Chains A and B, each alone.
Chain A
């Protein structure tokens, strides 16, 4: 505003909040992280059994599956959608892997591939229902959840399928790539979680895919008017989520050394909770993978810690509920400031 410098300066200095912007989001992540640290410190003080290599590994292992699911659902939530089928989709992929390996006697890697493909196809189907058929995500994925649950039971004939013929399958989750430290052998499931988190974070922040994920969640109409094929990208997001459910399916099947067809329902809520605790906004446009991982760890640490303290189970549930509400409220407070 070259001709009227005063006005320009006035207008600039008055634009709300501008200079602090990036500081806030960095501090936000730090705070989420510090509440996890705080939790760990408190439990460590209260019980000598908590901060032990064995227990830390138990916590990480308990986080792996939920963490992976939460990563997938974070993408969907950022677009402003929701996926209620991640739990049963995971089970479905696990059953498909088991069917391939244990029933059809194919090699383990074919089973893994099968799980990933099955997940991707389910995700694609959800995506098409949401983007093309305009079915609200809540309903479309609720349907998908029942569908995959039913299919799992049918394929597995309602009983677990065991990987008795493929002992190496359990190594995927329970083996370790780094057997060097004697008492602290991090299972592969945990390593897979972290690697996936890094990849997902990269995809979300550095790729076109991630950018359009945010764009759609922030203002789908604006994205469409900018010439983005929003339908196609939305389908892609659901498909990626399906693929990630496939990974979770392999992890859980490998951990249990079996595909449990009845398992899975309810796991979607844990995954969504982890994402939301980690600062992902259910109305879309906001979220980070790091936050989601921290959210998942907060949940599993809390559960484990309360168990270690021998808190009666009923009170464990109450406490977890309170802390989840509290964590999300803290996040809201932070954003308000």
Chain B
């Protein structure tokens, strides 16, 4: 039968493409997404580590960050492969608990990365210290607008760890250190460019004296940038972003965006694999591994240290 041969051929092709060496450690990484450039950078770091330490990894994530159940199916499939260790960035920690429990029972070490996992099962979390990074963004913002005036913030969501930490980091720093700056609006745009653009425009409309605008992730930052551009406020409103990506990099380079915080996604991926291996070797390490962050603007964007962690 024709169908059978085609299916077989396909399957063999796939097998060939993913031929596994026998004795290598196998470490699947389940991320929160995979199409997004950020996750691609994490993947790139993880692949680098896999090469450096000679282990085998796979990197998967659901199509959108809403697909909690799909992520859990991925986790389940990863566990079925009897891995040596697992890297995991939970979309919803509670929903994943039963599977993490299984991993623990089976003696498979779990390393959380990025926003981490809300549980004590993971041996450590490799992530950006978002509170510190967002607070640094607040310092930069204050410096750029001269320590006084109205600013607004668009955050991607109010449920994820990164959303909460970046919001609190920024807001608390402004409140505690810069009494002359007021945060006139704080909204959630789901990390969606279009929605964030609309939000930003509405905010600018109702606050004509706005001096600064902070977008707490790539989507939010691009949204803020678009909003400012469409309202004709380029140069009048200081835009501070977060994360990178082609559009943001271009905006920083042109000066439309004053600067942005970048996490070190490559480092996140790299460290996750690195610490998974450490765990397999029985080494001890702390509960949180800071993977670092950088401030970048027009002046340092081409610095090799920076451009290495900026992803297009």
Give the B-binding residues of A (Cβ under 8 A).
Answer: 35, 38-39, 42-43, 46-47, 49-50, 52, 54-55, 58, 61-62, 65, 158-160, 162, 174, 252, 255-258, 260, 262-266, 300, 303-304, 306-313, 315, 319, 322, 326, 330
Q: Return chain A residues, CB-CB under 8 Å to B65.
A: 262
Q: Return chain B residues, CB-CB under 8 Å to A322.
A: 10
Q: Return chain B residues, CB-CB under 8 Å to A326.
A: 3, 6
CB contacts under 8 Å to A, within B58-85, are: 58-61, 63-69, 72-74, 76-82
Across the interface, do A49 and B81 meet the contact criterion of CB distance under 8 Å?
yes
Tally the A-B contacts, defined by beta carbons under 8 Å: 115
> Distance in Å from the Cβ of B175 to the closest Cβ of chain A?
23
Q: Return chain B residues, CB-CB under 8 Å to A58.
A: 73, 76-77, 79-80
Across the interface, do A55 and B77 meet the contact criterion of CB distance under 8 Å?
yes
Complex Cα distance, B81 from A52, in Å, reads 10
Nearest chain-B residue to A300 (Cβ)?
B73
Across the interface, do A309 and B18 meet the contact criterion of CB distance under 8 Å?
yes
Q: Return chain B residues, CB-CB under 8 Å to A309.
A: 11, 14-15, 18
Complex Cα distance, B159 from A110, in Å, reads 27
Majority SS of interface residues in chain A?
helix
Q: Return chain A residues, CB-CB under 8 Å to B256.
A: none
Q: Return chain A residues, CB-CB under 8 Å to B3.
A: 35, 38, 326, 330
Find the residue from B8, B68, B74, B190 having the highest chain A CB count within 10 A: B68
Across the interface, do B95 and A256 meet the contact criterion of CB distance under 8 Å?
yes
Q: Return chain B residues, CB-CB under 8 Å to A312.
A: 17-18, 58
Across the interface, do A46 and B77 meet the contact criterion of CB distance under 8 Å?
no
Q: Interface extent on B, as a size class?
A: 35 or more
Nearest chain-A residue to B160 (Cβ)?
A159
Nearest 7 pairs between A and B by C-beta? A262-B66, A55-B80, A256-B95, A58-B76, A307-B77, A159-B159, A62-B73
Across the interface, do B72 and A38 meet the contact criterion of CB distance under 8 Å?
no
Q: Return chain A residues, CB-CB under 8 Å to B10.
A: 319, 322
Across the interface, do A266 and B92 meet the contact criterion of CB distance under 8 Å?
no
Across the interface, do B95 and A257 meet the contact criterion of CB distance under 8 Å?
yes
Complex Cα distance, B71 from A252, in Å, reads 13
Q: Return chain A residues, CB-CB under 8 Å to B67.
A: 263, 266
Q: Return chain B residues, CB-CB under 8 Å to A262.
A: 65-66, 190
Q: A174-B98, A256-B69 are in contact. Are A49 and B80 (CB under 8 A)?
A: yes
CB contacts under 8 Å to A, within B189-205, are: 190
Q: Return chain B residues, CB-CB under 8 Å to A265.
A: 64, 66
Across the interface, do A158 and B82 meet the contact criterion of CB distance under 8 Å?
no
